[in-house]
Amino acid sequence: MIRNFEEMQQLGKENFDVAMKSFSAASKGVQAIAVEVADYSKKALEDGTQALEKLLGAKSLEKAIELQQNYFKESYEGFVSEATKVGEMYADLAKESYKPYEGFFAKATTK
């Protein structure tokens, strides 16, 4: 009976360790994503402000349209690039959060 209690205690400790490793990986991943999104938002706001200043300083309607088209094109490309990057970061987050459980599940199935 004592042996079973010790085994259960060890299993509980292993479960806790695996959960903490997973939580740590998830926490780091979410933090990195938050920093990336904040940096992108700041850059997008700065780019929008610069584009507005240029647009207000345009000397002709054609130049204003050209500036606006360039801004929209660059904004769209930047957004797609950032969305792809953040998507990859979420995929990495999922992989890193699951990694501690891989060995745990493998060990659990061999018992």
Of 107, 84, 105, 102, the residue nearest 25 (C-alpha): 102
Percentage of residues in the chain with pLDDT exceeding 90? 63
**Mean pLDDT score, 8-13:** 81
DSSP helix, strand, coil percent of the chain (3-state; round to 5): 95, 0, 5
Report how far apart, in Å, the C-alpha atoms of 47 and of each of 61, 70, 96 are: 21, 12, 34
More confident: 110 or 46: 46
Q: Where are the domains of the chain?
A: 2-110
